[in-house]
């Protein structure tokens, strides 16, 4: 029997193990000492402890995870998101051990690890990219030169950063040298690479991304865009599809651009190409490419009746791109909210505790991907995502929002503070709920400040 090791934890480990079970593939979980009672350990066919609670000594230890794969004779490793999912060394080590890494090839990941180099590659394929330095910027003097061309505000980004981290915004000349210093320091300490690049800061824009899949023969499939404009400090909180601000004409262009970007990078497997969409609702720019399954993949799955995790596994095993028979879009709409263990009243400080009571929402059109179970202790060792609620209706965005309100009302988690109340408030917001007045990625940050949390 084919066997796959899942090198992750939390809801995404459950998501992958569920797909494996439906495919009659044996599953191996790995876990840290802090996660002994986490549900992915029980759900998998077998489970191996790989280290103590600190991710650096467990989920980030590629060597220990590879040892677990050898101990269990797993033929493939699914990395989930975060942790080792875009680690080129790990992918290459898997390949060398004859184990299939369910993701892009190690050499492709290596090439794409540098974001400014990736941007240049994508621009070369004729895809519009955010105006900025077209390569790494060596020092402050060079940065000052670029700023003259670009104009303020600019973003300083870590070339090897990711997940919305390592980004510094600079409003004017007086901030540049200090921000440069901070960005360099953070980039060095987080990734061992100090390289930075500059980008024009296009604040009045939306975050629109396209899920793409590509098989080993080079056949590419792009899926209808996701809109992730509701963010706080570059961390997504709500995702939906289709975007209320993308016309069929722009959609066609976006999907084509995403396919071109992936082909330019010689990517195979699943990828998400992120774009900024400007207020004219026509201009869009390539931002970056994510080379893993993403947190928000379920909104696409619900909209289009596809299983992206199974697709990802099949593509990694060398299967050709299937023929998709998508339902006509009509008014179909799906949306996801992230239930994080963070306190919106307290500057989104991570919360921890024992989940004394858990009741997850259900009913028609509601999907809940979560590892929350009563009695589970939730700490701050790992990222704060506890549950994702995904709602779908064929009747339009307003109906999907009505369903999400109902689902959030049903959700009950005691023992830790979550972002549930934040989402309940947001769904009442006329601008967000209306979906016909422009709002940008800045909107959520300002909206949070204006809320009365008492």
Q: Which residues are catalytic?
A: 292
Report the residue from 22, 42, 63, 445 that binds other proteins according to the rule CB under 8 A.
63
Region of 45-53, 102-110, 261-269, 321-329 interacting with other proteins (CB under 8 A): 45-53
Give CA–CA dist 334/240, Å, rounded: 6
Region of 48-56, 102-110, 281-289, 395-403 interacting with other proteins (CB under 8 A): 48-56
With binding defined as CB under 8 A, does residue 70 bind other proteins? yes
User: What number of chain residues touch other proteins (CB under 8 A)?
Assistant: 17
Beta bridge partners of 32: 51
Burial (CB count within 10 angstroms: exposed 0-12, middle 13-18, buried 19+), residue 128: middle
Per CB under 8 A, which of residues 84..143 are in contact with other proteins? 93
Region of 47-55, 162-170, 221-229, 323-331 interacting with other proteins (CB under 8 A): 47-55
Give CA–CA dist 242/397, Å, rounded: 9
CB of 266 to other proteins, least distance (A): 28
Report the residue from 40, 64, 200, 207 that binds other proteins according to the rule CB under 8 A.
64
Per CB under 8 A, which of residues 25..44 are in contact with other proteins? 33, 36-37
Task: Name the residue nearer to other proteins (CB basis): 63 or 252.
Answer: 63
Tally of CB atoms within 10 A around 73: 11
Report the residue from 12, 19, 68, 313 that binds other proteins according to the rule CB under 8 A.
68
Task: Name the residue nearer to other proteins (CB basis): 46 or 429.
Answer: 46
CB of 48 to other proteins, least distance (A): 4
CB of 63 to other proteins, least distance (A): 4
End-to-end CA distance of the chain: 55
Give CA–CA dist 409/360, Å, rounded: 10
With binding defined as CB under 8 A, does residue 49 bind other proteins? yes
Nearest to 70 by CA among 28, 107, 31, 26: 28
Give the list of residues 6+ apart from residue 7 with CB closer than 8 angstroms, or none.
30, 59, 65, 77, 78, 79, 80, 83, 84
Nearest to 433 by CA among 333, 355, 298: 333
Phi-psi category of 49—alpha, beta or left, where left has phi over 0 and alpha has psi -120 to 50? beta
Region of 56-64, 149-157, 211-219, 284-292 interacting with other proteins (CB under 8 A): 56-64
Task: Name the residue nearer to other proteins (CB basis): 94 or 366.
Answer: 94
Give CA–CA dist 267/218, Å, rounded: 9
Cα Rg of the chain (Å, integer): 21
- The residues binding other proteins (CB under 8 A) are 33, 36-37, 48-52, 58, 63-64, 66-68, 70-71, 93
């Amino acid at each position: 029997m084919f066997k796959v090791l899942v090198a992750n934890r939390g809801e995404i480990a459950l998501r992958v193990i569920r797909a494996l079970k439906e495919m009659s593939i044996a599953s191996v979980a790995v876990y840290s000492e802090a996660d002994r009672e986490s549900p992915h350990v029980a759900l998998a066919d077998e489970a191996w402890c790989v280290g103590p609670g600190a991710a650096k000594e467990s989920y980030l230890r590629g060597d220990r995870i590879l040892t677990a794969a050898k101990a269990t004779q797993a033929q493939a490793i699914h990395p989930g998101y975060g942790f080792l999912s875009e680690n080129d060394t790990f992918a290459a080590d898997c390949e060398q051990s004859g184990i299939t890494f369910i993701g892009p090839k190690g050499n492709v990941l290596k090439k794409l690890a540098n974001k400014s180099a990736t941007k240049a590659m994508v621009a070369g394929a004729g895809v519009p990219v955010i105006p900025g330095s077209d390569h790494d910027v060596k020092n402050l003097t060079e940065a000052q030169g670029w700023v003259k061309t670009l104009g303020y505000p600019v973003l300083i980004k870590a070339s090897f950063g990711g997940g919305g981290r390592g980004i510094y915004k600079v409003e004017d000349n007086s901030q540049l040298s200090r921000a440069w210093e901070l960005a360099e320091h953070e980039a060095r300490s987080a990734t061992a690479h100090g390289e930075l690049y500059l980008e024009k800061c296009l604040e009045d824009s939306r975050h629109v991304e396209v899920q793409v899949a590509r098989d080993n023969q080079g056949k590419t499939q792009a899926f209808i865009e996701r809109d992730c404009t509701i963010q706080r400090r570059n961390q997504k909180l709500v995702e939906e599809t289709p975007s209320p601000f993308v016309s069929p004409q722009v959609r066609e262009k976006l999907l084509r651009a995403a396919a071109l970007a992936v082909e330019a990078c010689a990517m195979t497997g699943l990828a998400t190409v992120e774009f900024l969409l400007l207020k004219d609702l026509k201009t869009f720019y390539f931002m970056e490419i994510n080379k893993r399954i993403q947190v928000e993949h379920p909104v696409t799955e619900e909209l289009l009746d596809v299983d992206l995790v199974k697709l990802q596994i099949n593509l990694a095993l060398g299967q050709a791109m299937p023929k998709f028979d998508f339902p006509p879009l009509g008014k179909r709409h799906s949306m996801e909210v992230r239930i994080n263990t963070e306190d919106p009243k307290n500057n989104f400080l991570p919360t921890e505790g024992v989940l004394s009571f858990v009741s997850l929402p259900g009913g028609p059109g509601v999907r809940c991907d979560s590892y929350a179970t009563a009695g589970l202790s939730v700490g701050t060792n790992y990222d704060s995502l506890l549950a994702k609620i995904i709602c779908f209706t064929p009747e339009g965005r307003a109906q999907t929002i009505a369903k999400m309100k109902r689902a959030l009302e049903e959700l009950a988690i005691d023992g830790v503070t979550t972002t549930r109340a934040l989402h309940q408030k947001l769904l009442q917001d006329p601008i967000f709920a209306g979906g016909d007045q422009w709002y940008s990625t800045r909107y959520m940050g300002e909206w949070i400040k204006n809320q009365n949390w008492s």
